[in-house]
A and B are shown apart, each in its own frame.
Chain A
Amino acid sequence: MAHVPPSLLRIIRAVDAFSDRTGRLVAWCIVPLFAGLTYEVVSRYGFDAPTEWAFDVTYMLYGTHFMLGAAYTLLRGAHIRTDMFYEKFSFRTKGWVDALGYLVFFFPAMVFLFVAGWDAFLVSWRMVERSEISPWRPVIYPFKGVIPLTALLLLVQGVSEFLKSLHMALTGTPYEEKETVLV
């Protein structure tokens, strides 16, 4: 049986721990999201005093939440696949399909997203760009920074997932169980 060097397993564990921690942190965005909007509605109907920040804060929290959470979602294995054939593959085949998928689809896609997102972020940052869709006009560059950061977090987690798929391809056993979400 082929065998996976312990150094690679250490990389997998370290990366997974990192994504697990960042993901669980990002997940808490949901709390200010529902609390802020609840405050806005109560303030609008209860005290006739709508806030001027609710709109911008809402989309910024929502956008940050699901984008930065994409890497954690990858760790949990929750990005949907078409498993009509995949499900019937042997673990070795699954491993090779994934390894190849990471090389051909995943890494190029995330490098593109990072580079393009980073350029857009720099432009926005240099001109201290502000949001034009509300009278509150908050600065928008940190929000634009979410795009390259998302790509970066995904790239990091992708390294671990790529190694896991190699593990599965070579040893014929999965590194871990992934969960499935029923939407």
Chain B
Amino acid sequence: MSGEAIGLLMLATLIVTIFVGFPISFTLLVLAVAFGYWGMGRVVFDLMVFQTLGLMKEETLAAVPLFIFMGYILEQSGLMERLFRAFQFILAPVRGSLYVGVILTATIFAMATGIVGAAVTVLGIMAGPIMMKSRYDVRLSAGAIAAGGTLGILIPPSVMLIVMGPVIGVSVVQLYAAAFGPGLLLAGMYIVYTLARSYLDPRLGPALPAEARATSAGQIVREFLVGMLPLGALIFATLGSILAGLATPTEAAAMGATGSLVLTAIYREFTVARFRGAVVKTLTTSSMVLFLAVTSNVFGAVFARLGTATLMTNTLLGLQLPPTAMMVLLMALIFLLGWPFEWPAIVLVFVPIFLPLVQALKFDLILFGTLVAVNLQTAFLSPPVAMSAYYLKSVAPSWELRDIYAGMMQFMVLQVIALLLVVLFPDIALWLPARLFR
């Protein structure tokens, strides 16, 4: 049997076995070694060690545990609560103010953390009760919390983009610069949508009652200075130093982790138990992502060496579709994959398979990476396997799962519109990197 055919068989076996539900990492590794040995003999063992070591030496990826650590530290610091209260006080007289407060809090927090983590949970715990008490619409509330809470995976310092950089061979800094536009576009669309709905039907999001407002203008100023400014400064320093080229993402992540520890100490929220908790949670989260990166790297290398990638690319190119149609097709495929799979599997296993095609069509790789990222953010909101719905349900038990889904669907429609906007107007993504790195 030819190498290409063995590779195709390997891919088919993967797709069948992956659905059985055994942890993907181990399935990938054993298939890569077994089919690799069949196709190329003992060399596969050297290839496995070489690829593993290569990933272990990828200094850029050291930013993954560091940004995850920074996020866990900040999650426990009570900063999100302060941020939310500040927005609540400032926006109180506006209809739909709590929606906007949730989304703005989530957006700012997303700029300080690299993963979704507990964002949905924390937002649900702190905003859920007051939204219910203020008679906010359940669906719109749940949708705003779930959609806002998952922005962390798209807006820099997104861990998904750090992992995507080496996979598609683009600098993480460029991907970061490109993700700002779409990320802020999404946040803006959420805000406009909730404001418009509340304006048209005030029952959905009434202005807040007196007891939920600030007692004086001084209190508003104080919440702003204490709750917003320090975190804002930390975000500005961390992301700013990356975009300005003063520090690599890895260095900035380390500085950000140190900075968030300092902030936590200043707010008197630092305890040894919390610190140890963040240390241990960082290990499981980053090891899950990065060990999968290792095994899918081995799988991808075997797949490429067997020549199957080239075969598939040539076949697809033979279809003679116009490049834009091909891109839309690819995005539709990734959207569908986002239903059963979580982003690490898609970015690490499937994107490398499509990559030669994207390169052959001479697509802008930065744009491609950004589109994949926006696309995968929708996966967090697509029922029936949207984890964020379960998280929200567990902290807001009085909300029906049906209503949570109905709310999430509304925001998913907004995301699909945003994705189409970025396809039609690539400058939304490419403007900032073009300005920064001419």
User: Quick one: given A34-B257, A85-B21, are A66 and B65 in contact (CB under 8 Å)?
Assistant: yes
Q: How far is the CA of A31 from the CA of B56 in the complex (A)?
A: 18
> A65 in the interface, Cβ–Cβ < 8 Å?
yes
Interface string of A82-104 (1 = CB under 8 A from B): 11111101000010011001001
**Chain A residue with Cβ nearest B254:** A37
State which residues 9-61 of A face B: CB under 8 Å. 23-24, 26-28, 30-31, 33-38, 40-41, 45, 55, 58-59, 61
A interface with B by C-beta (< 8 Å): 23-24, 26-28, 30-31, 33-38, 40-41, 45, 55, 58-59, 61-63, 65-67, 69-70, 72-74, 76, 78-87, 89, 94, 97-98, 101, 104-106, 108-110, 112-113, 115-117, 119-120, 133, 143-144, 146-147, 179-183
**Considering residues B62, B69, B115, B253, which has the most beta carbons from chain A within 10 angstroms of its beta carbon?**
B62
User: Quick one: given A33-B66, A101-B20, A182-B391, are A63 and B291 in contact (CB under 8 Å)?
Assistant: no
User: Quick one: given A59-B59, A183-B115, are A27 and B291 in contact (CB under 8 Å)?
Assistant: no
**Chain A residue with Cβ nearest B27:** A105
Interface-side segment among B177-185, B200-208, B277-285, B367-375: B277-285
User: Quick one: given A58-B250, A80-B24, A81-B23, are A69 and B30 in contact (CB under 8 Å)?
Assistant: no
Shortest CB-to-CB span from A4 to chain B, Å, is 21
> In the assembled complex, which residues on chain A have CB atoms less than 8 Å from the CB atom of B286?
65-66, 69
User: Quick one: given A28-B279, A79-B24, A109-B30, are A115 and B45 in contact (CB under 8 Å)?
Assistant: yes
Q: How far is the CA of A84 from the CA of B251 in the complex (A)?
A: 38
User: Quick one: given A24-B280, A26-B283, A59-B59, are A105 and B30 in contact (CB under 8 Å)?
Assistant: yes
Interface string of B229-256 (1 = CB under 8 A from A): 0000000000000000011001101110
> In the assembled complex, which residues on chain A have CB atoms less than 8 Å from the CB atom of B251?
37, 40-41
State which residues 341-392 of B face A: CB under 8 Å. 341-345, 385, 387-388, 391
Can you list 13 pairs linking A and B with CB atoms under 8 Å apart?
A: A41-B251, A41-B255, A63-B56, A79-B291, A80-B24, A81-B22, A81-B23, A84-B340, A85-B21, A97-B22, A106-B30, A108-B33, A143-B56
In the complex, the answer to whether B287 meets A105 with C-beta atoms within 8 Å is no
B interface with A by C-beta (< 8 Å): 17-27, 29-30, 33-34, 45-46, 48-49, 52-53, 55-59, 61-62, 64-66, 69, 115-118, 120, 153, 159-160, 246-247, 250-251, 253-255, 257-258, 279-292, 294, 339-345, 385, 387-388, 391
> In the assembled complex, which residues on chain B have CB atoms less than 8 Å from the CB atom of A69?
283-284, 286-287
In the complex, the answer to whether B283 meets A144 with C-beta atoms within 8 Å is no
In the complex, the answer to whether B65 meets A62 with C-beta atoms within 8 Å is yes
Shortest CB-to-CB span from B338 to chain A, Å, is 12
> In the assembled complex, which residues on chain B have CB atoms less than 8 Å from the CB atom of A26?
283
> In the assembled complex, which residues on chain A have CB atoms less than 8 Å from the CB atom of B20?
82, 85-86, 97, 101
Provide the main secondary structure of the chain B interface: helix
Give the residue of B45, B160, B279, B292 whose beta carbon is less than 8 angstroms from that of A31: B279
In the complex, the answer to whether B19 meets A72 with C-beta atoms within 8 Å is no
> In the assembled complex, which residues on chain A have CB atoms less than 8 Å from the CB atom of B117?
182-183
Q: How far is the CA of A87 from the CA of B384 in the complex (A)?
A: 12
Give the residue of B21, B57, B287, B341 whose beta carbon is less than 8 angstroms from that of A86: B21
Q: How far is the CA of A24 from the CA of B279 in the complex (A)?
A: 8
In the complex, the answer to whether A66 meets B287 with C-beta atoms within 8 Å is yes
> In the assembled complex, which residues on chain A have CB atoms less than 8 Å from the CB atom of B344?
80, 183
Shortest CB-to-CB span from A70 to chain B, Å, is 5
Shortest CB-to-CB span from A37 to chain B, Å, is 3
In the complex, the answer to whether A98 meets B22 with C-beta atoms within 8 Å is yes
A-B interface, 3 closest residue pairs, ranked by CB to CB distance from nearest: A86-B21, A63-B56, A37-B254
Shortest CB-to-CB span from A169 to chain B, Å, is 14
Q: How far is the CA of A180 from the CA of B342 in the complex (A)?
A: 12
User: Quick one: given A97-B22, A117-B49, are A133 and B57 in contact (CB under 8 Å)?
Assistant: yes
> In the assembled complex, which residues on chain B have CB atoms less than 8 Å from the CB atom of A119?
45, 49
Q: How far is the CA of A30 from the CA of B33 in the complex (A)?
A: 31
Q: How far is the CA of A85 from the CA of B20 in the complex (A)?
A: 7
In the complex, the answer to whether B385 meets A83 with C-beta atoms within 8 Å is yes
Q: How far is the CA of A86 from the CA of B22 in the complex (A)?
A: 8
> In the assembled complex, which residues on chain B have CB atoms less than 8 Å from the CB atom of A36?
254
User: Quick one: given A112-B33, A147-B53, are A73 and B284 in contact (CB under 8 Å)?
Assistant: yes
In the complex, the answer to whether A73 meets B257 with C-beta atoms within 8 Å is no
Q: How far is the CA of A168 from the CA of B35 in the complex (A)?
A: 31
> In the assembled complex, which residues on chain B have CB atoms less than 8 Å from the CB atom of A40?
251
In the complex, the answer to whether A72 meets B287 with C-beta atoms within 8 Å is yes
Q: How far is the CA of A61 from the CA of B287 in the complex (A)?
A: 13
**Considering residues B30, B120, B153, which has the most beta carbons from chain A within 10 angstroms of its beta carbon?**
B30
> In the assembled complex, which residues on chain B have CB atoms less than 8 Å from the CB atom of A101?
20, 22-23, 26-27
**Chain A residue with Cβ nearest B25:** A79
> In the assembled complex, which residues on chain A have CB atoms less than 8 Å from the CB atom of B49?
116-117, 119-120, 147
Q: How far is the CA of A135 from the CA of B220 in the complex (A)?
A: 54
